[in-house]
Chain A
Amino acid sequence: MANPIKCDICSKPATVHLTQILDNKVHKIDLCEECAQEKGVTDPSGFSLADLLLKASLNPEATAGGMRCEQCGFTPVDFKKLGRFGCPACYIAFKGILDPMLDGMHKGVVHAGKVPQRAIERRSLHERLSKLEGDLSEAIKAERYEDAARCRDEINQVRQAVEQKPQRQER
């Protein structure tokens, strides 16, 4: 054993070797006893190989730069450590790291499933509402009463739409 295989996480000699084939790509991972324990390889309910492959696939250069999520302060170094992101906005901040990672992880790279339609509609109505309210107070300040009246009408319409929203409309 002149040149033992090293653990993908901590570089100690690896004793646990795992292989998985996903979409015809062979993924291999080698772990030392401790990391295997810690990652729950021995815990059938808590172990995800995909998870381990994910961490092993992150190359050190990608984590170097001074990137940071403005929403939550998360950095690529944190990701390397935790294997999880900090907040939803991290997906925008770290797009450059994420894209190569997603390649080969899933069946595709674009979402094709359910969309939270009702929540999205509600959010856009709320955004429209707060914009109209801003317009209204500006119009009043500038004594543009015709504009103000129009804003008020629109606000009423949007309010009605918001209140009607909870009707069930499955697919």
Chain B
Amino acid sequence: MTIGSLIEAPSEFTDSSSGKSAIVLMTRIRLARNLAGHPFPGWAKPSEREKVLESCRSVLISTPLLKRGLSVGVDELGELERRILVERHLISRELSGSKQGSGVVISKDQTVSVMINEEDHLRIQMMRGGFQLKKVWGAINELDSLLEDSFDFAFSPSLGYLTACPTNLGTAMRASAMMHLPALVIASQMEKVVRAVNQLGMVVRGLFGEGSDASGSIFQISNQTTLGESEEEILKRLSGVLQSIIEHELNARARLLESDSGKLFDKIGRAFGILQNGHVLSSNEAMNLLSLIRLGVDLGIFPEARRCVTDRLFIEAQPGHLQYAQKAEVDAGQRDLLRADRLRSEFANFPRPDFSLSANGKN
């Protein structure tokens, strides 16, 4: 598979059919693994990096899950191609800016990606739409065990999997959920949530922006610690935290509808108007408008079948995707025009909001 055909193909993110849910957009688990007896990538000589890259690429591309996917060195990718992979969460920003001797292998359906010579020799990652921690863990655990047949992973009985940074020791697992929390943002409760979640040893990050006012109200919640607990225990704890955030978001929505439905409907109605008619839209503004439309879907104001449109546009309105579609690098001002064009045409045939339905909105 080539990078071009990968970009054109539907991804887990942009695909409409996979189990989308109202609040958890995506579940993701990442495992860090290193090869015993080899220096970590940040300390390895260029020739050592190349050797590790070559041997990892050839093993990975022959495993069943990755067989028909893309295997590519970072230096073979153009600037825009790298950006697209970052925007789709298939590679990290760190890898996209890395020097020679690093690469990535991505499955055809773009649910699995393995970064080679990022901070660790291997960063194995698996994503699924919706809230699916158990399923993703089952699948990535199996892939990891399969890779044991080909690699001797650096491991210590007392410290677990040995990673370049001690913050990843032990399970070397980072599990996360991407959550859409518009009501908590509107009600200015995100800061409180971030604090509470931190206290429980979990980390909250804005996905497209920063801190408690992330654009699009999309947040990534993940475990911070990796040593001293089993994978199952970490996932159980994370799952409990996610469940309670979902409850808080649902409560915040109920309260908004009860106390201030006029204001909430006004926001959603205006978002619809701007998306249908705007001519200049920054990335940040577009994310926030799309977030309101998505909330409208949750409340029954727009049909459920349109949820996939907002989820796809969250990614496709990003700068890399916009420029790739245009087949050129375009400056930020020009991009805002392009983005508005794109959104106007996507929303031209979008059903009008129906505010009478909201009382029996789902969830």
Contacts and interface: CB of A to CB of B under 8 A. Distances in A.
Nearest to A78: B43
Given A44-B214, A116-B153, A102 B166 contact: yes
Nearest to B165: A84
B143 to A, nearest CB: 12
A98 B201 contact: no
Nearest to A170: B145
Given A119-B151, A119-B153, A170-B145, A113 B173 contact: yes
A113 B162 contact: no
A118 to B, nearest CB: 5
B262 interface: no
Contacts of A108: 227-229
B37 A82 contact: no
Interface string B19-34: 0000000000000001
B206 interface: yes
A85 B156 CA distance: 15
Contacts of A42: 210
A170 B143 CA distance: 11
A45 interface: yes
A126 B148 CA distance: 15
Majority DSSP secondary structure for residues of A touching B? loop
A13 interface: no
Interface residue tally on A, bucketed by range: 35 or more
B204 to A, nearest CB: 10
A159 interface: no
Contacts of A51: 165, 167
Given A84-B42, A84-B119, A87-B40, A112 B148 contact: no
B98 to A, nearest CB: 12
Given A21-B199, A83-B165, A107-B229, A112 B170 contact: yes
B160 A111 contact: yes
Majority DSSP secondary structure for residues of B touching A? loop
Interface in A112-126: 112-120, 122-123
| Best-surrounded residue of B153, B160, B173 (most CB of chain A within 10 A) | B160
A73 to B, nearest CB: 9
Interface string A71-106: 110100010001111111001000000100110011
Interface residue tally on B, bucketed by range: 35 or more
A111 B227 contact: yes
A101 B166 CA distance: 9
A106 B165 contact: no
B16 to A, nearest CB: 25
B164 A107 contact: no
A130 B167 CA distance: 36
B148 A106 contact: no
Given A111-B171, A112-B233, 13 more contacts: A20-B198, A22-B224, A44-B205, A44-B206, A51-B165, A51-B167, A88-B156, A105-B167, A105-B227, A106-B169, A107-B201, A113-B230, A114-B141
Interface of A: 20-24, 42-51, 54, 71-72, 74, 78, 82-88, 91, 98, 101-102, 105-120, 122-123, 166, 168, 170
Q: Which 8 residue pairs spanning A and B have beta carbons closest together?
A: A108-B228, A111-B160, A88-B154, A106-B227, A107-B228, A113-B171, A86-B43, A84-B164
